[in-house]
Structure formats: structure tokens, C-alpha cells
Amino acid sequence: MSDSKEILTLAVEIGDVLLRNGGEIYRVEDTILHILDAYGLAEYDVYVLSNGIFASANEQKEDACSIVRHVPLGDVHLGRIAAVNQLSREISAGTCSVSNAWERLNACKAIPVQSPFVQEICCGIGCACFCSIFGGGPPDAFFSFVLGFFLQYLRLHQQAHGTSKFLTNIIGSAFLTASSLTLMRLGLPVLHDKIVIGSIVPLLPGIALTTSIRDLFGGDYLSGAIHLLDALLTAMCIALGVGMVMIGYRDLMGGAILP
Amino acid sequence: MILQFVLAMIATASFAVLFCVPKDQFLFSSLTGALGWIGYLIFYGLGCGTVTASLLATFFLTIVSRFFAAIRKNPVTLYLVTSIFTLVPGAGIYYTSYYFIMDDMASFAAKGMETFKIAGAIAVGIIFGFSIPQKVFHWKAR
């Protein structure tokens, strides 16, 4: 029987992976509680926020222990969530020892992200498809592909340099708008608004919105509010990026942009 | 309609790659996205406004995600998060800032309100979708 400190650390570490990669609060809390329960700890308590975990166990006993963990808002990696979900399922069923669970957890954490090139290509394809379902024609979809490709390149580049997410969103949407206005200005037969709408999709706060609603619905108002604020600010940054370029275009080139 | 379905599926699938969905779940993620989008088009075609259509489509999409989550024994997030992108009002954000810059305040207010309403509709759709007891899905899964 391992000591309670190790079990608590394991449980919180598993919760950490879930939270960091985009799991919702209710699930993180539930998973930690199930694991503590499965390994026979008593009198535990867990409090999870969207950027932190607080947990304690065996409060009345000799080996009382507690953990505070800061979890920064990170990128979504659903593969890790699925793998950790499977792991916690097995722990709850009692088919996974503590040392085995540590190994499995480290394997889950090591699941790689896609290579930059694959990400750029996929982002491009996604943008092209969104452009055509939102009403763009084949040439618009083609330019959306190109812009989506470079947008993802830009985002990865910014991420590697630790630029703030807000700045990345402003620069990204400004880049898209500027490029599509340039294409229009060059006289190409494109719908500049459809190109932007298609290729702007990767920047949209779809995940933040979804997570925030699910947190609010689960009664975690604070975490829900944090994600909701994130979603609103992201949307405003996108609007700001688009708006700045349009003002520049209107003032430099003169005259209105056709919608 | 079939073309729209296929395109929505490819779009969701490529976003699934970006969010590192496990390979064996690609099909289900992209199917959810495509069904959500087709649902939106159908409800819109039946004469619902954009807001109502978004609400119903999100509701439908949440149910589909929960169903897949139950039969594939995976978190709902896997299917919901990737497929919601077809419904998030990106066009609304774009046109809102466009009308703002163009000093067309009437259109700006209308588009801005519509964007907020769609975001709210998505929220309500997800909440309704999650209000269905879990039991229903486990019964279906069996």
C-alpha cells in the first residue's frame, strides 16, 4: 500500500493533465475524486478552478497532506484527454496499480502534437472548407487555404516566442483582412469577405465558449466566468484586428469597401 | 446538400487534427460537425431565423456528441468542441466590425445583436442538450 501523499499527487497530476489540455471542471473534479476513492483514501476534498487545483486528504489522520497546483490556460489536446480518461476508468475499476498508473500517465503526457507542417496544411484545408460552406466559390476557397496555411504558421511562430494570445489574435485577423483586401485590390475575382470569414474560423473562441457554458451549467460559476471572459476578449481582439485594417484601407485608399 | 455535408465533414476533420483528436475518433468527430451544419441548414430552410436555427442545431449537435461519447466511451468534449466551429458566428464578428468602421450604425447594431444572440443561442442549445439525463444515452448505447 503506497502512502497517501503519493496517491494524492497522482490524482492531482491526472487532474492537472485533464485541465491543462482543455477538460471541463466538473470532469476534472470527478476524476480526482474517483481516483482517491479507488485507492482507498478517506476524508478527501478537492476544489478545482479553471487555472488551479486544491486538494487535501486524510485530514484527521497522522499522514494528512494537501496539494495546491497552478495550471495555466493552455492549448487543447483532446488526444491526451481521451487517454487520461481511459486511464482513470481503469483505476476506478481497480485494474491499475499506483506505480503502473504513473507510467501510464507519463505515456499520456508524452502523446505528441502534430508536426507544424501537418498543422498548417490541416488549418488550410479547414479554412478552405469553411469558406465554401459559408458561401465562397472555388477561388475564394483556394485563397482561404493559402491564408489558413500562413495563419497557422504565424500562430505557431508567435506561440514559440511566447507572444500574448490577444496580440496573436489581433495580428492574425489583421493579417487575414489585409491579405484579402490586397487580393481584391489586385483585381482578382474574389469575395473578400467570404475569404476572411472562412479563414478566421481557427481564431474563433469556440472552445472557450463551449467550456464556459459547460462549467456554468455544472455550477462552477467562477471557472465559467473566466472562460466566458476569455471568449469575449478573443472575439473583441478579432474584431479589433479586422477593424484596424479596414480603417487603414478606407483612409489610405479612400472610399468604401464593398461588402 | 451532399456537397455541404462533405465539406463540413472535411472542415471538422481538419480541425480535429489541429486539436489532436485520437485517430480512431476522427470519423465520429467529423460526422458530428457535418450533422450539426446540415441541421442548421435544414432548420434555416424550414424558415427559422439564424438565431433559432443555431439554437436547434446546437441542441441537435450536443445530443449527437453525447450519443457518440456514450457508445465510444470517450469524453463528450472530443466531439462537441471540434464540431461547434461550424456554428460559432465568425461572420457576425466580421460584419459587426465592418459596419462599425463604415459608420453604418443601424446595420452595426443589428449585426452586433444578432452575433450576441447566436452566441447565446449556442449556449442555450448546449445547456438543453446536457439537461437530458445521462441514462437515456446509456440505454441507447446498450
Q: What is the DSSP string of A115-154?
A: PHHHHHHHHHHHHHHHHHHTT--HHHHHHHHHHHHHHHHH
Q: How many domains does chain B have?
A: 1
Residues A170 and A103 in one domain: no
pLDDT at B58: 94
A82, A35: one domain: yes
Q: Quick check: pTM over 0.90? A: no
- One domain for residues A63 and A191: no
Q: Which alpha helices (DSSP H) does B19-49 contain, by range?
A: 26-45
Q: Is residue B141 part of a domain?
A: no
- Which of B135 and B55 is assigned the larger pLDDT? B55
| A150: pLDDT strictly greater than 80 | yes
With CA atoms as reference, the chain B residue closest to A156 would be B18
**How far apart, in whole angstroms, are the C-alpha atoms of residue A98 and residue A107?**
14
Assess B63–A contact: CB distance below 8 Å, yes or no.
no
Joined grid coordinates for residue B48: 427559422
Q: Are B27 and A121 within 8 A, CB to CB?
A: no
Give the domain-ending residue among A80, A109, A138: A109
Under 8 Å between Cβ of A61 and A44: no
**Long-range contacts made by residues A50-57, C-beta under 8 angstroms, separation at least 24?**
A50/A19, A50/A25, A50/A211, A50/A215, A50/A222, A50/A223, A50/A226, A50/A227, A51/A19, A51/A226, A53/A12, A53/A15, A53/A16, A53/A19, A53/A28, A55/A8, A55/A11, A55/A12, A55/A15, A56/A8, A57/A4, A57/A7, A57/A8
**B127 band by pLDDT with thresholds 50, 70 and 90:** very high
> HSE (CB half, 13 Å, CA atoms) of B16?
25
How far apart CA A31 and CA A22 sit, in angstroms, is 14
For the cut 80, the answer to whether the pLDDT of residue A220 exceeds it is yes
Same domain membership, residue A125 and residue A210: yes
Q: How far is A191 from B34, CA to CA, in rounded Å? A: 24
pLDDT confidence of residue A255: 61
Given this model, what pLDDT does residue A256 score? 61
C-alpha cell at A76: 487543447
Q: What is d(CA B69, CA A95) in angstroms, rounded to the nearest whole number?
A: 22
**Residues A148 and A65 occupy one common structural domain:** no
Question: What phi and psi, each to the nearest 5 degrees, are found at residue A190?
Answer: -125, 155
pLDDT tens by residue, A69-112: 998 877 888 889 999 998 988 888 888 888 888 888 888 888 88
B142 inside domain: no
Which CA distances in Å does B17 have to A120, A131, A230? 10, 18, 23
Q: What is the number of structural domains in chain A?
A: 2
Q: What does the angle CA B39 – CA B131 – CA A50 come to, to the nearest 5 degrees?
A: 100
Whether residue B75 and residue A23 make contact (CB cut-off 8 A), yes or no, is yes
> Is A28's Cβ below 8 Å from some Cβ in B?
no
Domain assignment of residue B86, yes or no: yes
Mean pLDDT of the region A115-135: 91
Those residues whose C-beta lies under 8 Å from the C-beta of residue A70, and which sit 6 or more positions away, are A51, A52
What pLDDT was estimated at residue B140?
57
Partner B, chain A 137-196, Cβ-Cβ below 8 Å: 152, 193, 196
The whole-angstrom separation of Cα A40 and Cα A179 is 59
Residues A39 and A138 in one domain: no
Contact A114 B100 (CB under 8 A): no
Full residue range of the structural domain in which residue A39 is found: 4-109
Min CA distance, B110 vs chain A (Å)? 15
CA distances from residue A30 to A35, A150, A175, B11 in whole angstroms, order as listed: 9, 40, 42, 32
- Distance between CA atoms of A45 and B93, rounded to whole angstroms? 42
Same domain, A62 and A141: no
pLDDT at A59 over 80: no
Do residues A134 and A93 share a domain? Answer: no
Q: Look at residues A59, A93, A109 and tell me which one is the last residue of a structural domain.
A: A109
**Do A129 and B20 make contact, defined as CB atoms within 8 angstroms?**
no
Does some domain include residue A257? no
Half-sphere exposure of residue B51: CA atoms within 13 angstroms, side-chain side = 13
Residue A234's pLDDT band, with cuts at 50, 70 and 90, is very high
Per residue in B30-69, pLDDT tens? 999 999 999 999 999 998 889 999 999 999 999 999 999 8
A208 touching chain B per CB within 8 A: no
Quick one: average pLDDT of A23-47? 87
- CA distance linking residue B1 with residue A174, whole number of Å: 33
Q: Which comes out higher in pLDDT, residue A146 or A162?
A: A146
Share of chain B above pLDDT 70, in %: 97
Domain boundary among A109, A139, A171: A109
ipTM of the complex: 0.88
For the cut 90, the answer to whether the pLDDT of residue B125 exceeds it is yes
B120 touching chain A per CB within 8 A: no
Quote the CA–CA distance of A225 and A217 in Å, as a whole number.
11
Residues A56, A104, single domain; the answer is yes
Residues found in chain A: 259
Q: In this structure, are residues A45 and A103 in contact, taking their beta carbons and an 8 Å threshold?
A: no
Percentage of chain A beyond pLDDT 70 is 97
> What is the DSSP annotation of A69-96?
EE-------HHHHHHHHHHHHHHHHT--
- Using CA coordinates, name the residue in chain A closest to B26: A79
| Residue A258 covered by a domain | no
Give yes or no: residues A83 and A125 share one domain: no
Q: Look up the domain containing B92 and give its range.
A: 2-136
Supply the DSSP symbol for B103. Answer: T
- Mean pLDDT taken over chain A: 87
Name residue A53's beta-bridge partners.
A48, A69
